[in-house]
Structure 1
Amino acid sequence: MPHIGLFFASSTGNTRRIAKLIKKRFDDDIMADALNVNKASAGLVAGYTHLILGTSTLGGGQLPGLSTDCMGGGWEEFLPQLQQVDFSGKTVALFGLGDQARYPEEFADAMGIIHEFVAARGAKVVGAWPADDYDFISSRALLDDRFVGLVLDQENQKSLTDTRLDSWLKLIAPEFGLPL
């Protein structure tokens, strides 16, 4: 079984596309399929010691879910299912999508919500990303002047996505025991 679980929720398909790009950059022997959380189970997540979790941020900083038109459910429904999962000993990297122009006061907040959830359950969260080169007012994903994971803005900075993604994957690779 691959040793990295890749789980995401997406309302428009952008987060799914980023998850597939991540999967493509890793060997199939070490990376599980990119799996939408609406097709996942708590037991499946618990089975991995290394996780990459991705999310979009909707409207007023919400997690994607049924109430926010995420087809089949999203993090809003899935996080409560993970309440009993012990994340101690797990290494987690996060990526999140946001729109800094339309939602500068809750930019990438959903990634911050997931970070709070897994960190409170003992996860070692890796892959903090510089907040430079973004123009926003506030973000729940900001900790000590850095994002808790990779933030991508497909609406305003799409041209930076590949470079940012490659740099971030090189940053987290050693934490996952991978050459990249």
Structure 2
Amino acid sequence: MANIGIFFGSDTGKTRKIAKMIQQKLGDVADAPVNINRTSLDAFLAYPVLVLGTPTLGDGQLPGLNAGCDSESWGEFLDQLAGTSLSGKIVALFGLGDQQGYPDNFVSGLRTLYDAVISSGAQVVGTWPNEGYEFSASSALEDGEFVGLVLDQDNQYDLTEERVDSWLEQIKPQIL
């Protein structure tokens, strides 16, 4: 088992592709990405470092049955995580959103994931600047920065690899 576990929720498969890209760039220190609906709490907790990814659906929701997805995802997994300690774990977050289609809730699902891991005692690393995006509101902002890497595969897919590379260079000293 590698030191870094990569877990993602997805509705369309875009978040899965980014998770795979991150794993390939990290190499052997990270295990293959796992859809959050295909893991157990024990397997999740086995990693000292977690890279967690999510899209934002509808009006700022995480993927899951309550968001109209066909299968369970973060919405259900966070129920299992509640009350579990992530103390001593380092967590890096990435989120996908559509700044033109959903400018009032751009990547807001990322905030829900952030709040869940923070309230469980995790140390979150890898904030991301909000420059270069056009949106009205996002609950994923904290002190003017996003709580994790933000990608827009619908409108700025050409910037994805550059953003992932830059973010990974930023967090490597904390996760390796």
Fold shared by both chains (TM-score > 0.5): yes
Q: Secondary structure at the match of 1:27?
A: helix
Q: Deviations over 1:138-178 (max 9, x none)?
A: 1111000000000000011111001000000111111012x
CA drift at 1:70: 3.2
List runs of 5+ in structure 2 lacking aligned partners: none
Aligned length: 176
* Amino acid in structure 2 at the alignment position of 1:153: D
Partners of 1:156 and 1:94 lie apart in 2 by 20
Worse-superposed segment, 6-15 or 71-80: 71-80
> Retained in 2: the 8 A contact 1:46–1:86?
no
Q: Who is 1:18 aligned against?
A: 18
Q: Give the alignment's Cα RMSD to 1 decimal.
A: 1.0
Shift, 1:85, TM fit:
2.1
Give the secondary-structure state (helix, strand or coil) at the position aligned to 2:27. Answer: coil
SS at match of 1:70: coil
Structure 2 equivalent of residue 154 of structure 1: 153
Q: Which residue of 2 aligns with 1:129?
A: 128
Counterpart CA distance in 2 for 1:23 and 1:70 is 25
The separation in 2 between residues aligned to 1:120 and 1:69, in whole angstroms, is 26
How big is the shift at 1:41?
Answer: 1.1
Deviations 1:42-62 (A, max 9, x none): 111111110000000001111
SS in 1 for 2:32: strand
Is the CA contact (8 Å cut-off) linking 1:42 and 1:85 kept in structure 2?
no
Aligned AA for 2:71? Answer: G
Aligned-pair distance for 1:137? 1.1
Q: CA offsets, 1:96-143, max 9 Å, x none?
A: 000000111110011111001101111110000000011111111100
Output the CA distance in 2 between the equivalents of 1:21 and 1:60. 27
